Amino acid sequence: MNKVVQVAWLGAALMLAGCGALRPYEPPEDKAPQALVKLKYKYSEVVPGSTLGARMGIRHGAQSDDDRFQSAFNQSYGAIASKKGGQEIPMAAVKVHPGKKTDVTMAVYFYWYTTQTYMVMINNMPQMQTQQVYNEKACTVQISFTPEAGKVYLLDYSSPNVDHDCSGHAYEQVKQRGDQFKLVKVGSSKTL
């Protein structure tokens, strides 16, 4: 079996086994206790000819590193035409469940599709097959903190390179006089 067919078969098997896309996150209902998490993404380098995206995964009260994340935010922002860069990613906000240790993954990613051609045998006759292949470059961080009900947090992600050296920090926004607030660090990232 050639490598392309093996990869396609393995990908299909993983999807059927539930190892594919993340389940959607279910935020707290409007009247339930909740914290608000603001997402801020910054990036410097790009992959020309790709599409820009940003995502966030979340899990609450994980017992082990094997506990799965849920998809809380995933947005595409359009094509990257040249090395001069893409567009600014607007801030987003997600309501989260308070009270338990929360792990968040954040990434800016660049994706594109290629077509691969390969031969298969059908009834002892060679047949040409083509397949669309998803390609991605990203740098992902994990930030852990414990949100408290009624509080607002800022998750600040920064990536100077396409697929390495990214970082992230979690801050609580502490209200000051008027419309002012200060940021108090409550968590830092590890690169995945």
Alpha-carbon gap, residue 155 to 57, rounded angstroms: 12
Alpha-carbon gap, residue 102 to 144, rounded angstroms: 6
Alpha-carbon gap, residue 178 to 184, rounded angstroms: 18
| pLDDT given for residue 85 in this prediction | 66
- Per-residue pLDDT of 119-166, as tens digits, reads 999 999 999 999 999 999 999 999 999 999 999 999 999 999 999 999
- CATH architecture, domain defined by 23-114+138-191: Sandwich (2.60)
Long-range contacts of 130-136 (CB under 8 A, 24+ apart): 131/4, 131/8, 135/111, 136/109, 136/110, 136/111
Q: Looking at the whole model, is its pTM more than 0.75? A: yes
Alpha-carbon gap, residue 33 to 99, rounded angstroms: 9
* Comparison of pLDDT for 72 and 11, the residue scoring more: 72
